[in-house]
């Protein structure tokens, strides 16, 4: 599997742009509201968690600060692990650890280590997800929880023309997996008590709000100075496209839960 391609798709300046749009430490939409919704029925308090694809680590910082969760983050991008480790506040030093793979897709931890394995907005980048689900199962303790948020497609291996256009404009490779496709992968890994919650309308609204925020004159000026006019135009158009695609069921945003 070519993980270099995923690393190339998140250069530092693009990550800075995403953080500007999504908020501090975030590379996915919805901020703390989306995180709270994702973990609403999950007991995170002081639990040992693994964050797959932590990005700029906003989700991990929030869960550690709010629930005292002990979080290990795992990234394919070594630059992100360096950044995230640097930015841990003194108060959270004992709760957060950020690392990269040694031998992708093997998760570099022992069997039965974590109470919760979670991932927000990550697995859509991965073509072959089965090994990763098998690995997530292996490192979870018995009865441990899997918590996934991702962008899904209505049919396996098929995005709409609008989503294809978005991938071209943003130079992103997203793999189309349907809800049924996801359920099969999760079941095959051995998980039970699988449930899903469609959060597309909330995410459509988050993306609409980002497009609106970027259209604001003052914010547009700051964005254009910091990045470029072209990136501003592409971003406003991109977030509007994503919002519409989520409203029209071309992108389905799902929170998924399962138990080992």
Ligand X SMILES: C[S@@+](CC[C@H](N)C(=O)[O-])C[C@H]1O[C@@H](n2cnc3c(N)ncnc32)[C@H](O)[C@@H]1O
Instruction: Please give the residue ranges that form the binding site for ligand X (CB under 6 A).
Output: 6, 10, 26-28, 52-55, 58-59, 74-77, 80, 120-122, 125-126, 132
- Tokens at 116, concatenated: 């919760």
Q: Is 221 exposed, middle or buried (0-12, 13-18, 19+ CB in 10 A)?
A: exposed
Neighbours of 240 (CB within 10 A): 17
In whole angstroms, how close is the CB of 111 to ligand X at the nearest point? 19
Least spacing, CB of residue 182 vs ligand X, in Å: 15
When CB distances to ligand X are compared, the closest residue is: 55
The number of CA neighbours under 13 Å toward the Cβ of 93 is 2
Residue number with CB closer to ligand X (59 or 252)? 59
Judged by CB, which is closer to ligand X: 213, or 224?
213
* Minimum CB distance to ligand X, residue 113 (Å): 17
Q: How far is the CB of 51 from ligand X (least distance, A)?
A: 7
Q: Specify the residue, 175 or 208, whose C-beta has the smaller distance to ligand X.
A: 175
Minimum CB–partner distance for residue 149 and ligand X (Å) = 8
Closer to ligand X by CB, 171 or 225: give it.
171
Q: What share of the chain is helix, strand, coil (3-state, %, to 5)?
A: 50, 20, 30
Q: Smallest distance, Å, CB 101 to ligand X?
A: 7
Indicate the residue among 122 and 140 with the shorter CB distance to ligand X: 122
Structure tokens at 75: 């990234």
Q: At what angle do helices 229-247 and 12-22 cross, to 10 degrees?
A: 60
Alpha carbon distance 223, 216 (integer Å):
10
Instruction: Name the residue among 142, 73, 147 with its Cα closest to residue 108.
Output: 73
Give yes or no for a contact between 239 and 21, defined as CB atoms under 8 angstroms apart.
yes
Which of 6/189 has CB closer to ligand X? 6
Q: Return all residues near 40 (Cβ < 8 A) that are at least 6 apart.
A: none
């Amino acid at each position: 599997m070519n993980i270099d391609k995923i690393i190339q798709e998140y250069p530092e300046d693009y990550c800075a742009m995403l953080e500007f749009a999504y908020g501090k430490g975030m590379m996915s939409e919805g901020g703390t509201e989306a995180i709270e919704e994702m973990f609403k029925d999950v007991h995170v308090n002081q639990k040992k968690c693994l964050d797959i694809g932590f990005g700029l680590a906003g989700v991990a910082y929030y869960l550690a600060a709010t629930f005292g969760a002990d979080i290990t983050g795992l990234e394919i991008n070594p630059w992100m692990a360096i950044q995230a480790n640097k930015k841990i506040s003194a108060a959270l030093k004992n709760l957060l650890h950020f690392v990269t793979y040694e031998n992708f897709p093997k998760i570099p931890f022992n069997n039965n280590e974590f109470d919760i394995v979670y991932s927000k907005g990550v697995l859509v980048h991965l073509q072959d997800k089965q090994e990763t689900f098998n690995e997530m199962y292996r490192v979870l303790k018995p009865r441990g929880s899997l918590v996934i948020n991702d962008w899904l497609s209505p049919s396996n291996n098929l995005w709409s023309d609008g989503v294809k256009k978005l991938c071209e404009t943003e130079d992103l490779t997203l793999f189309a997996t349907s809800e049924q496709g996801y359920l099969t992968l999760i079941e095959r890994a051995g998980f039970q008590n699988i449930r899903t919650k469609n959060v597309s309308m909330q995410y459509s609204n988050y993306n609409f709000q980002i497009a609106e925020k970027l259209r604001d004159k003052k914010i547009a000026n700051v964005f254009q100075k910091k990045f470029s006019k072209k990136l501003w135009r592409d971003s406003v158009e991109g977030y509007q496209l994503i919002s519409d695609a989520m409203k029209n069921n071309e992108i389905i945003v799902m929170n998924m839960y399962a138990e080992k």
